[in-house]
Amino acid sequence: MVSDDKENHNHRQTDPNLRCRKLIGFVYALLSAISSATSLLLIKYMDVTAEEMQLVRSGLQYLFVLPVMHYRKERIFGRNIAENFYLFGCSISAIVANWACNYSVLFIPLGDSVSILYTNVMLVGIFSCICLKERCTWIEGLFSILTLVGLVLVARPSYIFGGGVQNHLLHIKGASLAFASAVLTALTYVFLRKLGPTVHVCVSQFHYSWLGVILSLVFAKVKQPLRIPCLHDIIFLTLSAIAAILAHVFMTVALQKEKAGPLVIVQSTQIIFAIVLEFIFLQYSAPITSLIGSILIFGCAVCLTAKKFRESGE
C-alpha cells in the first residue's frame, strides 16, 4: 500500500499534463504582475484624482461581473450578519486601499510605491495573529523587522537621511499613503479569509464594484465639482482600468492551475517590473537606498510566503 502511494505521488509529479498546467499557472501569475505594474504606470500619464480612477475601474469591473453573477445565479448577500459585515468590510477596505495606492503613485516613484505596498505580506501575518489567533514564530518576527528596515530605506525620511531627498515632505506623504494602502490591503485579505470559500469571489467583486462607483462619486463630488476628463485622460483611464481588471483575471485563472503559495511569490515580481517599467518609460533611475529597500521587502515577502506555503503541508 505504501509503495502504491509513492508510485502515485511520483506519477503526479512526473505527469506532463500536470507540469504543463503548473507552468501555465506561473505564466498567468507573471502576466498578472506585469498588468498590475502597467496599470499603476499609466497613472503617471494622467491628470485625474484617485476617486475618478476608481470610478472608471469599478464601473468597468461592474460590467464584467454582472453577467457572471447572473450566469452563476449567486446570492447577492451573505447568509448572516457576520458574512455581510466581512463582505462589506472587505469591499470598502479594498476601495480605500486603491485610493491610497493611486495617490501614492502620484507623489512618489512607482517602484517605491509598489515596494511599500508589498509590506502587506508582513502585515497579513501580524493581523492574522491578532484577529485570527494564528501562531506567529520568531522567524516571522525577524522577517517583519527586515521588512520595516526595507520600508525605511524606501521612504527615506529626512530626519535619518538628511536633506538629500528632493521634496522630502511630498515623498513622506506618498510613502505614508502607500503604507496605508498596504495596511488596508492586509485587512482585505483578513476579511476574505474570514469569509472563506462559502462566498464566491464574484460576489465580493460585485460589491466592490458598485460600492466603488457610489463612494467614488460621493467623495469626488465633495472634494471638487465633477468634471469630464479630457480625451487623453479618458484613454489612459480606460487602459489603466482594463490592465487592473486583466491582472485580477490572470491571477484568478492562475489559481485554477497552481496553488496560491508559489503564485504569490511569482506575483511579487511586480516590484521588479515596476522599477524596470519606470526606468524604460519615465527614465527614472531609483537611488541605491530604494533599490536595497525594495530587495529587502521583495526577499522577505517571498520568504514569508514560502514559509506559510510549506507549513500548510501542500
Cell numbers standing for residue 193: 479569509
**pLDDT grade for 310, boundaries at 50, 70 and 90:** confident
The candidate with the shortest Cα–Cα distance to 26, out of 237, 291, 34, 220, is 34
For residues 224-238, average pLDDT: 83
Q: Considering only residues 102 and 311, tell me which one the structure prediction assigns the higher pLDDT.
A: 102
In the chain, the percentage of residues whose pLDDT exceeds 70 is: 88
Instruction: Give the separation between CA 117 and CA 263, rounded to whole angstroms.
Output: 17
For residues 222-232, average pLDDT: 79
For residues 241-251, average pLDDT: 86
**pLDDT grade for 3, boundaries at 50, 70 and 90:** very low
Q: What is the pLDDT of residue 138?
A: 79
Domains of the chain, by residue range, sit at 27-311
Q: Give the single-character DSSP code of 284.
A: -
**The pLDDT of residue 224 is above 80:** no
Residue whose entry in the numeric block shows the C-alpha cell 504582475 = 33
pLDDT digits (tens, 9 = 90+) for 18-40: 778 778 888 888 999 999 999 99
pTM of the model: 0.83
pLDDT digits (tens, 9 = 90+) for 255-287: 667 776 677 778 889 999 999 999 999 988 888
Q: Is 70 exposed, middle or buried (0-12, 13-18, 19+ CB in 10 A)?
A: exposed
**pLDDT grade for 15, boundaries at 50, 70 and 90:** low
Q: What is the pLDDT of residue 239?
A: 93
Angle value at C-alpha 115, between 113 and 120, nearest 5 degrees: 100
Instruction: Give the separation between CA 117 and CA 136, rounded to whole angstroms.
Output: 21
**The pLDDT of residue 314 is above 60:** no
**The pLDDT of residue 1 is above 50:** no
Instruction: Give the separation between CA 32 and CA 270, rounded to whole angstroms.
Output: 8
Instruction: Give the separation between CA 185 and CA 93, rounded to whole angstroms.
Output: 7
Cell numbers standing for residue 281: 518609460
List Cβ neighbours of 95 (8 Å cut-off, separation of 6 or more): 54, 58, 208, 211, 212, 215, 216
pLDDT digits (tens, 9 = 90+) for 98-126: 999 999 998 899 999 999 999 888 887 78
Using an 8 Å Cβ cutoff, are 120 and 148 in contact?
A: no
pLDDT digits (tens, 9 = 90+) for 134-187: 677 778 888 889 999 998 888 777 656 665 545 677 888 899 999 999 999 888
